[in-house]
Amino acid sequence: MGNPVVHFEIRSADPDGARDFYGKLFGWDYPEGGLPGYTYVDSGIPDALPGGIGPTQGGGELVTVFIGVQDVEATLQEAERLGGRIVQPATHVPGVTFGLFADTQGHVLGVAAQD
């Protein structure tokens, strides 16, 4: 089974400023998301890759993609076993569990599984 990119995210110290910038630049709208201060990105294009903009969550600002996996916790543990580092442990919000890891070169990626 493959593991596609399923989501993108912009985490900012100033998420309202980021939303304002990208809204003006790309015409994006922002439905409410599952976490405080977090919104989804509505690009206006049906079936576009979903995304979100929100505040930093225990780390620095970043732009990242999320890879769809069967088991978030197991994938994070495997990333760590391979020399990576868990940045955000498995976190559950309604409908999805997600987490972040840094690879051996420091690139931060997310993994996500729908419930």
Largest alpha-carbon pair distance within the chain?
Answer: 42
Output the pTM of the full model. Answer: 0.87
pLDDT confidence of residue 22: 96
For the domain 5-114, what is the CATH code? 3.10.180.10
CA atoms within 13 A on the CB side of 26: 12
* pLDDT tens per residue, range 72-103: 999 999 999 999 999 999 999 989 999 999 99
Q: Where are the domains of the chain?
A: 5-114
The low-confidence residues of the chain, meaning pLDDT below 50, are none
Residues ≥6 apart with Cβ < 8 Å to 37 = 15, 54, 55
